[in-house]
Amino acid sequence: MSDPQPVYLSDYQPPAYRVTHTELTFDLDPAATRVKARLLIERHPEADANAPLALNGEQLKLISLAIDATPLDAAAYELDDEVLRIAQVPERFVLESEVEIAPQENTALEGLYQSNGMYCTQCEAEGFRRITFYPDRPDVMATFKVTVIGDQQQEPILLANGNPIERGELEGGRHFVTWEDPHPKPCYLFALVAGNLHSVEDHFTTMSGRDVTLQIWVEKENLDKTEHAMASLKRAMEWDEQAYGREYDLDLFMIVAVNDFNMGAMENKGLNIFNSAAVLTHPQTATDAAFQNVEGIVAHEYFHNWSGNRVTCRDWFQLSLKEGFTVFRDQCFSADTNSAPVKRIQDVSFFRTAQFAEDAGPTAHPIRPDHFIEITNFYTLTIYEKGAEVVRMLRNLVGEESFRRGSDLYFERFDGQAVTIEDFVGCMAEASGEDFSQFMRWYSQAGTPDIDAHGEYDYVQGEYHLTLRQRTPATPGQPDKLPLHIPVRMGLVGTKSGQDLTLTLNGEKLGKDAVIHLRDDEQTFVFTDVAEAPVPSLLREFSAPVKLHYPYSREDLAFLLTHDSDGFNRWDAGQRLALLALDDLIAAHRNGVEKVMDSRVVDAFRALLSGPMSDKAVLAEMLALPSEAYIAEQQPIVDVDAIHAAREFVRQSLAVALRDEFLAIYEANVTEEAYAPTSEQIAQRSLKNVALSYLMSIEDEQGLALCESQFAADHNMTDVRQALTLLVHSDRDDLASPALKAFGEKWAHDPLVMDQWFTVQVSRPQPDVLERVKYLMQHPAFSLKNPNRVRALVGAFAQNRVNFHRLDGQGYQLLADVVIELNRLNPEIAARLITPLTRWQRFDETRQALMRSELERIKQQPLSSNVYEVVEKALA
């Protein structure tokens, strides 16, 4: 077998043939589903009359093929593992085909598969070719009419995209439903679901007064877990009307929850399919974080109806066109619905940990890659989250109003079309009159720019000179980078007044908070009329996805922590201050020197705890220390043990020094109110639980008692899970074991809660974790075939820094064993699971060698193209 080959953006050719209308009939059977397709096909007016018709098809058993009702004999076409090629076809014709597929054997969860006995599909990106022969590319858009035939008992519910137009009974206990979707769509948005499902129904009246029926389809036992998703959906529909003027365009909108799903959810037209973890919630089973995640994902998929479905991508290189924009939209929705500053803090904190790591590793790629082997490997933080940051910069550059004009123009001009990132940015340029030619480099250059900032105050002149230098490091295939257009939002905070000073640049008064534009490698900005020495507050609200380096002293940071008018930068100042202290402690740990806590950090925390408590949600974020993963990001060589020890030392020192304050915070935020996922309650719980985690870090008697009673009270999953985590992560196995046992028995029937039970155990710092992972992989609730289980157990273990990176290499070995097995079952999940091993360059030589040898071992296997691509890059 030859190595899988990449496809290149530069090779893009418009399709020679387009499908204008697609009719499908599915006769469902677990082992032998028959799929009949009737496609209306036309040659593109500019295409060569002799162009062959090439259809994608994989793992299909061809039963019959006909053009304009005339069967094709074997000489008329060529068929290999991937393509069906017909040499001669008319200008306009009807292609009929019948194939057989085996949903029950489909463990890759792409195409048509079975999950808990129910049939469902996943076609993005290239799964439709496992259903029927078709030009499986997003720039072929057709209207669809789909008939689903199933067993009346096994599959009483038969769903597909659009509106149901006909249903009836058939012989042998079978029945059918026919669905019609009038909106032309690419085949990756096709969906079918069949099974024994139950629905919760609601309605939404659109801005033009149309009634839309909303349905959430679940297994019977989950009917009580749909309320939050439904409420989120209605809020999202209303928000999209107000914020973007976008109205829903069918009479029916359906969401289906399935247990086996590779990703979070999928925006199929009118029939969104969700990973059950991304839609089901109940106060007793889901945490606040899960509630918020569900709200965000429901909104994200709904927003795709316009940013993705009505206007779609020309080719998969443009993936960020729909994903970056839609993530930006869902971020804004969540910010409007909940605490906006906390949303930004959480998004950025995740981004700087995980996307920065991706951008600095061997799989780094631009937001618009120029080649790939396997597109499913490109559903990444770069495409999604960095893509969203770039859209956010665009919005900030053109301003709210022009952005709305630009998006209106985009949706109007390209409705029903498959377009490119240039088309999107072009609309923004047209609506604002701005020139984005340099800005476009954000889409083609990988890697995170480093910005070195340096400031000097000239007392005599009353001037502040700010020098910014940018440099984007080399990434695979991109040794040299050009300077980017980087908007830096900033203020100068007067050290005497504690206030933002007016910014005057080149004689122009910019106000107290302004954006300066870094476009060259290096630029100096001279601010005049600066009456007092300032501390610069740079990159407010994380105005660009860059690493900003400024030589802040700890005094500067403590000052910004209390005085910065930008809430985000106040939080960031606290993080930077903690990082400086952590640096010293990491060094002390490595050198075997006694660790001493920086009193300035303690003072800063004390000030936070005793200050006016206006925003509890933000305070909870400010009290949380940077994660081990984020600390690791800042280190030249990651020393997992030193990082863990240093962070624990800070936690414990703060807990000892501020015990009474934490206790008071805990007590002030206990509530007996019935659970609701409101901002107020979530803020209270976060604050209470962060305080509890400090108390538990020193195994404080009172803290332990509170933790035990919080667990026993069983008030809601947020509190229960936090208490369980703190017990299990403490050294008090005498308390942890009974709690784990009780929890495991109580929830044995609920897979999504058992996932949490797995994760809590395998993320503890104690050294018995590897054994536990092996033991839990044999647990009846675990299955390698279910992506959620794999993520909850094996994926979570690989995030356990001290245990995954054990010096004997057994953590790496375990992960590689799982990857090798999953490579056969589910290549997409296998490829994602390798990620932690691809970061080997960041560790010491011993670990590097161990990690590389596991990558080599994987490489020796017969590999799917998914795993091959990742391993190849990781070892290059």
Q: Which residues bind Zn ion (CB under 5 A)?
A: 323, 326
How far is 97 from 62, CA to CA, in rounded Å? 8
Pairing of strands 450-458, 547-549: parallel
Nearest 5°: phi and psi at 264? -80, -55
Work out the angle at residue 398's Cα, subtended by the Cα atoms of residues 395 and 400, and round it to the nearest 5 degrees: 60
By CB under 6 A, tell whether 115 contacts ligand 0A1.
no
In our burial notation (b when 16+ CB lie closer than 10 A, e otherwise), range 848-872 reads: eebbbebbebbeebebbbbbbbbbb
Q: Between 262 and 761, whose beta carbon lies closer to ligand 0A1?
A: 262
Instruction: For the beta carbon of residue 479, count every other beta carbon within 10 angstroms.
Output: 8
Q: One of 23, 301, 358, 628 is an active-site residue; which one?
A: 301
- Minimum CB separation from ligand 0A1 for residue 302, in Å? 10
The partner in contact with residue 847, picked from Zn ion, ligand 0A1, none with C-beta cut-offs of 5 to 8 angstroms by kind, is: none
Q: Which of residues 248-267 bind ligand 0A1 (CB under 6 A)?
A: 262-267
By CB under 6 A, tell whether 379 contacts ligand 0A1.
yes
Q: Which of residues 267-296 bind ligand 0A1 (CB under 6 A)?
A: 267
- Name the residue number minimizing CB distance to ligand 0A1: 263
The partner in contact with residue 376, picked from Zn ion, ligand 0A1, none with C-beta cut-offs of 5 to 8 angstroms by kind, is: ligand 0A1
Q: Between 288 and 323, whose beta carbon lies closer to Zn ion?
A: 323
- Minimum CB separation from Zn ion for residue 194, in Å? 24
- Minimum CB separation from ligand 0A1 for residue 324, in Å? 10
Q: Between 43 and 392, whose beta carbon lies closer to Zn ion?
A: 392
Q: Between 694 and 868, whose beta carbon lies closer to ligand 0A1?
A: 868
| Contact residue for ligand 0A1 among 301, 572, 639, 700 (CB under 6 A) | 301
- Minimum CB separation from Zn ion for residue 139, in Å? 18
The partner in contact with residue 266, picked from Zn ion, ligand 0A1, none with C-beta cut-offs of 5 to 8 angstroms by kind, is: ligand 0A1
| Contact residue for ligand 0A1 among 22, 268, 376, 716 (CB under 6 A) | 376
Tokens linked to 433: 């009159």
Do the beta carbons of residue 488 and residue 509 sit within 8 Å? no
Judge whether 301 counts as a catalytic residue. Answer: yes
Q: Between 122 and 761, whose beta carbon lies closer to Zn ion?
A: 122
Question: Which amino acid makes up residue 255?
Answer: I
By CB under 6 A, tell whether 385 contacts ligand 0A1.
no
Q: Identify the H or E element spanning 709.
A: helix 701-713
* Beta carbons within 8 Å of 80's beta carbon, 6+ residues apart: none
At 869 the three-state DSSP class reads: helix
- Minimum CB separation from Zn ion for residue 319, in Å? 9
By CB under 6 A, tell whether 374 contacts ligand 0A1.
no
The partner in contact with residue 288, picked from Zn ion, ligand 0A1, none with C-beta cut-offs of 5 to 8 angstroms by kind, is: none
Do the beta carbons of residue 303 and residue 329 sit within 8 Å? yes
The partner in contact with residue 265, picked from Zn ion, ligand 0A1, none with C-beta cut-offs of 5 to 8 angstroms by kind, is: ligand 0A1
Q: Residue 485 carries which DSSP code?
A: -
- Minimum CB separation from ligand 0A1 for residue 113, in Å? 11
Q: Between 106 and 686, whose beta carbon lies closer to ligand 0A1?
A: 106
Q: Between 330 and 541, whose beta carbon lies closer to ligand 0A1?
A: 330
Q: Between 122 and 759, whose beta carbon lies closer to ligand 0A1?
A: 122
Residues 307-336, mask of contacts with ligand 0A1 (x by CB under 6 A): ----------------x-------------
How far is 113 from 193, CA to CA, in rounded Å? 10
The partner in contact with residue 222, picked from Zn ion, ligand 0A1, none with C-beta cut-offs of 5 to 8 angstroms by kind, is: none
Among 138, 458, 470, smallest CA distance to 309 is for: 138
- Minimum CB separation from Zn ion for residue 278, in Å? 12
Q: Which of residues 826-845 bind ligand 0A1 (CB under 6 A)?
A: 828
Q: Identify the H or E element spanning 357.
A: helix 356-359
Q: Between 131 and 631, whose beta carbon lies closer to ligand 0A1?
A: 131
Instruction: For the beta carbon of residue 402, count every other beta carbon within 10 angstroms.
Output: 19
* Beta carbons within 8 Å of 291's beta carbon, 6+ residues apart: 228, 281, 677, 682
Q: Between 323 and 541, whose beta carbon lies closer to Zn ion?
A: 323
Do the beta carbons of residue 754 and residue 781 sit within 8 Å? yes
The partner in contact with residue 52, picked from Zn ion, ligand 0A1, none with C-beta cut-offs of 5 to 8 angstroms by kind, is: none
Q: Identify the H or E element spanning 454.
A: strand 450-458
Do the beta carbons of residue 359 and residue 384 sit within 8 Å? no
By CB under 6 A, tell whether 124 contacts ligand 0A1.
yes
| Contact residue for ligand 0A1 among 107, 114, 121, 122 (CB under 6 A) | 122
The partner in contact with residue 124, picked from Zn ion, ligand 0A1, none with C-beta cut-offs of 5 to 8 angstroms by kind, is: ligand 0A1
The partner in contact with residue 854, picked from Zn ion, ligand 0A1, none with C-beta cut-offs of 5 to 8 angstroms by kind, is: none
How far is 612 from 596, CA to CA, in rounded Å? 29
DSSP calls for 508-577: EEEESSEEEEE-SSEEEEEEE---S-EEEEESTT--SSSEEE----HHHHHHHHHH-S-HHHHHHHHHHH
Length of the chain equals 876
- Minimum CB separation from ligand 0A1 for residue 261, in Å? 7
Helices (H), 149-225: none
- Minimum CB separation from ligand 0A1 for residue 109, in Å? 8
Q: Residue 674 carries which DSSP code?
A: P
Nearest 5°: phi and psi at 493? -95, 120
- Minimum CB separation from ligand 0A1 for residue 759, in Å? 22
At 29 the three-state DSSP class reads: coil
Do the beta carbons of residue 133 and residue 146 sit within 8 Å? no
Residue numbers at the binding site for ligand 0A1 (CB under 6 A): 122, 124, 262-267, 300-301, 323, 376, 379, 828
Active centre residues (catalytic)? 301
